[in-house]
Amino acid sequence: MLDNYFPILVFVLVGLAFGCVPILLGWLIAPNRPDSEKLSAFECGFAPFEDARMKFDVRYYLIAILFILFDLEIAFLFPWAAIFKEIVNTEAVKMFGFVEMFVFIGILVVGYVYAWAKGALDWE
């Protein structure tokens, strides 16, 4: 099984190298004549004012938290979906395997409906 993952490791390293090398080459080959105007932050021609890093609407955090929870749900659903056919074809566990997952999804739908009703999914 691990032999299968060796090419992936190599590919990830090649991908990283592919990102770095052209930037390095571009930096070496291309002309480099910086001045203060070129190096200042772009703000449509105005001189930049204030720190660019500012506080953001709390909705973004909320979306990120909801994403974590749904991602976990997906992580739980994946193995189940991968053996669902086996579950269906085994008479003994057929109903159990089906109901079990829909109880799981049902409980999460309660949370989803709650978030919706509270307006957590609204963007104004």
Partner 1 sequence: MEAIVLPFVEGLLGPLWPAVKPVWPLVWTLVKIVLILSPLLLSVAYLTFWERKVIGWMQVRIGPNRVGPWGLLQPIADGLKLFFKEVLFPTAADKKLFVLGPVMAIAPALAAWAVIPFSPGWVLANVDAGVLYLLAISSVGVYGIIVAGWASNSKYPFFGAMRASAQMISYEVSMGLGLITVLMVSNSLNLTEIVGAQSKGQFAGWGLGVFSWNWLPLLPMFAVYLISGVAETNRAPFDVVEGESEIVAGHMVEYSGMAFAMFFLAEYANMILISAMTSIFFLGGWLSPFGFLQQIPLVGVAFSNGFHWMAFKMAAILFFFLWIRATFPRYRYDQIMRLGWKVFVPLTLVWILVVGVWMMTPLTIWK
Partner 2 sequence: MEFKTILFYLFSAITVVAALRVITARNPVHAALFLVLAFFNVAGLWMLLQAEFLALALIMVYVGAVMVLFLFVVMMLDINIERMRQGFWNNLPLGALVGLLMVGEMAVVLSGRYFGLANLPPQNMPANYSNTKELARLLYTDYAYPFEIASVILLVAIIAAVMLTLRGRKDNKAMHSSDQIAVKAKDRMRLVKMSPEVELPAVAAKEGE
CA–CA separation, 105 and 74 (whole Å): 10
Q: Do residues 41 and 48 make contact, with C-beta atoms less than 8 angstroms apart? A: yes
**CA-wise closest residue to 75 among 41, 99, 36, 104:** 104
Q: Which does 90 bind (CB under 5 to 8 A by kind): partner 1, partner 2, none?
A: none
User: Which residues, numbered 69-98, are part of the site for partner 2 (CB under 8 A)?
Assistant: 69, 71-76, 78-80, 82-83, 86-87, 93, 96-97
Q: Long-range contacts made by residues 85-91, C-beta under 8 angstroms, separation at least 24?
A: none
Q: Which residues bind partner 1 (CB under 8 A)?
A: 1, 4-8, 10-12, 14-16, 18-20, 22-23, 25-27, 29-34, 36, 38-44, 48, 51-54, 56, 60, 63-64, 66-67, 70-71, 74, 77-78, 81-86, 88, 94, 98, 101-102, 105, 109, 112, 116, 121-124
